[in-house]
Structure 1
Amino acid sequence: MTNPHLDTAAFYAEVRQLAFRYALAVDSRDLVCVASLFSRESDFSRWGEGSEGCMAFFRGVWEKFGPSVHTVTNHVIDRIDDTHAVGTVYCRAEQQQHDKSWRTYQLAYFDRYTIEDGDWRFLSRKSYFWYVDIDGERHVGHPEPRPILPDAWGTWHEFWNTDREHHEQLPSSGSQS
């Protein structure tokens, strides 16, 4: 008889490993490894599906910058059924540009996971940005058009819109109490 708690712990550990392995594969520019983390059903838009689409997509992305450091932090995972799950992964990514300057991105990945050949894999991975720091100057979002946090969360707008009267009565952050 298997222990359901051990099964649950193993599930979370396996899915979290995807995020860690992804960060390492990106930073080491390991196309084969990053492709192995995605499902054969993963769609990379104009680059195609599966491993070939994945490698074509990442080859193009990685040519845009030099060395990088991806630090994975919060990782929330929700199991949908025995073969599907969704998750949100926070990440701080630092990238050296070709002019030798560095950019720091604070982002979150919104993931969909699936079981394939007995292993958990990414079905899709979408990045949403809080900000990018360019030469010490923080810019909201991303230099290219991308979804922006916290605006992408419906709960953010719901919080600020449904209780507007209460929020308007709060002292500003610069006021003394």
Structure 2
Amino acid sequence: MDNSRLLARVDRLESIEEIRQLAAKYSLSLDMRDLDAHVNLFAPDIRVSHEKVGRIHLKAWLDDTLRNQFTGTSHHLGQHIIEFKDPDHAIGALYSKNEHECGGEWVIMQMLYWDDYERIEGRWYFRRRLPCYWYATDLNKPPVGDMKMRWPGREPYDGAFHELFPSWKTFWATRPDRDKLPEVAVPAPVEHFLETMRRGAPTPKIRVR
């Protein structure tokens, strides 16, 4: 193996680890309410809304959200798949199981983050973080049935947990012929597992909790 290929492989491994640390730092800084540490995990020109760009606006939005909705939170990370578009851009899917103290209720949540990462001046940042929710409900109220997003004081609604991947709807919309063995698709390339599963689906619009 020539030196350039070896350096590229080392760089890829170091990038994967830095991105995983980025996700872990996101949870810790959010739960400990260190908003400066938190917003500095995002690109300096992070888009917060159609009109607002930058970490200062992200910090203001976070401060308002965290003070008015939650007494405390705890984010527990699960599996993390990372794929690279080029040496300085990557995407990722990360599971998260979260707990929230909301006044007199304890709300549990299952979700995944759909992330875009960018390396800027040698350091990895979140370029975009899309929260796709499956359910949110009081600890003592299992979210069985439709509209699993059940925040205190709000009407229930559907999350976007399954909208990233068309296979969910396809699975339930079709019935296999039990007299025939199913066909198996060609395995996805190692670096394109997520994009293959996405099958060109549009990015869902997330309802703010």
What TM-score results when the alignment is normalised by the length of structure 1? Answer: 0.83
Q: Are 1:76 and 2:88 counterparts?
A: no
Structure 2: distance between partners of 1:114 and 1:138 = 38
Report if the CA contact (8 A) 2:81-2:92 is conserved. Answer: yes
Report if the CA contact (8 A) 2:108-2:139 is conserved. Answer: no
What is the identity, as a one-letter code, of the residue corresponding to 2:175?
R
The percent identity for this pair of structures is 25
Partner of 2:169: 157
Deviations 1:2-43 (A, max 9, x none): 623322211110111111000001100011011110012311
Residues 120 and 146 of structure 1: CA distance in aligned 2, closer, same or farther (over 3 Å): farther
Shift of residue 51, structure 1, vs aligned partner: 0.9
Residue ranges of structure 1 left out of the alignment (5+ in a row): 168-177
Q: How many residues align?
A: 165
What is the identity, as a one-letter code, of the residue corresponding to 2:74?
V
Structure 2: distance between partners of 1:38 and 1:12 = 17
Residues 97 and 38 of structure 1: CA distance in aligned 2, closer, same or farther (over 3 Å): same
Residue ranges of structure 2 left out of the alignment (5+ in a row): 179-209
What TM-score results when the alignment is normalised by the length of structure 2? Answer: 0.72
After alignment, is 39-48 or 109-118 more displaced? 39-48
Structure 1: distance between partners of 2:47 and 2:158 = 18
Report if the CA contact (8 A) 2:135-2:148 is conserved. Answer: yes
Structure 2: distance between partners of 1:49 and 1:30 = 20
Q: Are 1:108 and 2:112 counterparts?
A: yes
Shift of residue 141, structure 1, vs aligned partner: 3.6
Shift of residue 129, structure 1, vs aligned partner: 1.0
Q: Are 1:147 and 2:151 counterparts?
A: no
Partner of 2:184: none
Structure 2: distance between partners of 1:93 and 1:47 = 30
Match of 1:41 among 39, 45, 68: 45
Structure 1: distance between partners of 2:63 and 2:106 = 20
What are the residue-to-residue correspondences of 1:96-135 with 2, within 5 Å?
Answer: 96-99=101-104, 101-135=105-139
What is the identity, as a one-letter code, of the residue corresponding to 1:147?
G
